[in-house]
Amino acid sequence: EDDSSQPAEVPKDKLLNGLLASGFDERSCLSRYQSVLYGKSLTHKPSSYLISRLRSYEDLHKRCGPFTVSYNKTVEQLKSGKQTGPPDCNYLVWISFSGLGNRILTLASAFLYALLTNRVLLVDRGVDIADLFCEPFPEVSWLLPTDFPITAQFSSFNQKSDLSYGNMLKKNLTQTEVPPFLYLHLVHDYDDQDKLFFCDQEQDFIKKVPWLIMKTDNYFIPSLFLIPSFEQELRNLFPEKEMVFHFLGRYLFHPTNQVWGLVTRYYRAYLSKADEKIGIQIRVFDTGVGPFQHVLDQIIACTLKENLLPGINPEEHIISPPGKQNTKAVLMTSLNSGYFEKVRDMYWEHPTMTGEFIGVYQPSHEGYQQTEKQMHNVKAWAEMYLLSLTDKLVTSSWSTFGYVAQGLGGLKPWILYKPENQTAPNPPCRRAMSMEPCFHAPPFYDCKKKTGVDTGALVPHVRHCEDMSWGLKLV
Ligand code: GDP
């Protein structure tokens, strides 16, 4: 390392046990190799099979990615609607849709689906993708070229679109012809036909279409594990099921230098010197303006009960037990600054029972979701990443923002239950079964028997989520 702004030690394993490809220009994306300097190597080793499949995906991407001979040829066929023989390469285009946490989860889902079906993943850049993420694959971009012929239609694709897979099924069109492209509507409002995407029989048809265009706001990987034809491959890729997003996330999502600057400056200034780092991610889905007393009560009850933070002593002014007194840094994230101010003041105004010192920090309080502002999602991404660098993490129910942090960090979080009727739930939180994200809108269908089924009860590694009873997650 010749960059004097960085810690001096040489990273033990810059390539995360072979998960990352070598040969990138390090300066163009410092986070790719520096994440290990921030205390975060992988929690487990990726399988050698996963590593070899990633390397062969990279070769495929190099051969088929934007502006290669194969890409140009397949785009020509899409434009003309005429297919002259089987295409050299097949593609999956991911449409940038929904909040940033959602997008990170769907992009990982799309990539795994591409890996399983030998497709090339191309990414619609939306307004901000290129500002947020480095290129994950060597040499050839993952960004969909701006002159791609159907980009202008992306925003109008919805549940009703004629070219959606579900609607083609309804009109029996999948029997007769192979269309030049197929729109996969996997957004939470999708219907029973759209959901047949998760059936083997239907994958046979989908396989034949050279261009798949996908719009989704869900982490749909748990349901891929229920498709029999993917079973063996997934077992080989991920012998430990709860590592799926941890590995895919650390492989794909490297903050750009702008985002990395925000991450590392904050980390060095407020977090790195503490004996322990606690992350608390607050996302309130209630309507109305916070801060709410019941949410604050819940945060304090959870961190106390689970021994994440010490209680305060309101009777004494000074408590100084013998021995070294630890410091804990609490990183809070929220759209609102109210919770952070209250917790910070509590630990300033009173000593802790244990004599520990608690510093409380919150990088931003953006007020509300502002998708169009460049700096807004840069900060959101930096905050998710900072949360992932903590030692222990508390997250909010239903929030993909928290899922991303726990998955990247390899952390099994304590999940704050969703408050009902403006009261703090009791118990306030519980430890998650695994670090995997929850699939919020899974199908409940048995493709063979053609009946409804509880997809959370079919195999031991796909279960209902802690924070959403109908959701599915890998454990
Ligand atoms: P989810 O709605 O909690 O599942 O998470 P998403 O990331 O998909 O969407 C929420 C969006 O609101 C984020 O992308 C941010 O733009 C914003 N947001 C929510 N919570 C925070 C926060 O704690 N910090 C920042 N900076 N932005 C947030």
Of the candidates 455, 349, 343, 467, the one whose C-alpha atom is nearest the C-alpha of residue 403 is: 467
pLDDT at 282 over 50: yes
Of the candidates 140, 188, 186, 145, the one whose C-alpha atom is nearest the C-alpha of residue 164 is: 186
- At which residue do the structure tokens 């953006």 appear? 366
pLDDT at 250 over 60: yes
Q: How many CA atoms lie within 13 A of 436 on its CB side?
A: 27
Sorted by where each starts, the structural domains of the chain and their CATH numbers stand as: 42-252 (no CATH), 257-437 (3.40.50)
Q: How far is the CA of 452 from the centre of ligand 1 (A)?
A: 34
Residue nearest to atom 26 of ligand 1 (CA): 380
pLDDT band at 10 (very low <50, low <70, confident <90, very high): very low
The larger pLDDT score, comparing residue 202 to residue 320, is at: 202
Side by side, the strands of the sheet bearing 392-396 are 357-361, 327-333, 276-281, 392-396, 414-416, 429-431
Residue nearest to atom 25 of ligand 1 (CA): 380
Task: State whether the beta carbon of 440 lies less than 6 angstroms from ligand 1.
Answer: no
pLDDT at 377 over 60: yes
- At which residue do the structure tokens 């297919």 appear? 83
* pLDDT at res. 361: 98
Q: How far is the CA of 101 from the centre of ligand 1 (A)?
A: 7
pLDDT band at 85 (very low <50, low <70, confident <90, very high): confident
Residue nearest to atom 3 of ligand 1 (CA): 399
Sign of the four-CA dihedral 199, 205, 206, 208: positive
* pLDDT at res. 73: 95
Of the candidates 285, 90, 125, 103, the one whose C-alpha atom is nearest the C-alpha of residue 187 is: 103
* pLDDT at res. 2: 41
* pLDDT at res. 287: 79
Task: State whether the beta carbon of 283 lies less than 6 angstroms from ligand 1.
Answer: yes
* pLDDT at res. 11: 54
Task: State whether the beta carbon of 364 lies less than 6 angstroms from ligand 1.
Answer: yes
Task: State whether the beta carbon of 379 lies less than 6 angstroms from ligand 1.
Answer: yes
Q: How far is the CA of 55 from the centre of ligand 1 (A)?
A: 33
Mutate to test the pocket of ligand 1, among 369, 372, 406, 467 (most ligand atoms within 8 A of CB): 369
Provide the H-helix boundaries in 208-305.
221-224, 228-237, 244-252, 257-266, 293-305
User: What is the number of the ligand 1 atom nearest to the C-alpha of 333?
Assistant: 23
Tell me whether the omega of the peptide bond preceding residue 11 falls within 30 degrees of 0, making it cis. Answer: no
Average of per-residue pLDDT values in the chain: 94
Share of the chain above pLDDT 90, in %: 85
User: Which amino acid is located at 287 in the chain?
Assistant: T
Share of the chain above pLDDT 70, in %: 97
pLDDT at 161 over 70: yes
pLDDT at 7 over 60: no
pLDDT in tens, 132-158: 999 999 999 999 999 999 999 999 999
Residue nearest to atom 23 of ligand 1 (CA): 334
Task: State whether the beta carbon of 96 lies less than 6 angstroms from ligand 1.
Answer: no
* pLDDT at res. 43: 85
ipTM: 0.99
State the average pLDDT over residues 87-94.
Answer: 95
Of the candidates 41, 97, 302, 74, the one whose C-alpha atom is nearest the C-alpha of residue 210 is: 74
Beta bridge partners of 91: 120, 211
* pLDDT at res. 64: 98
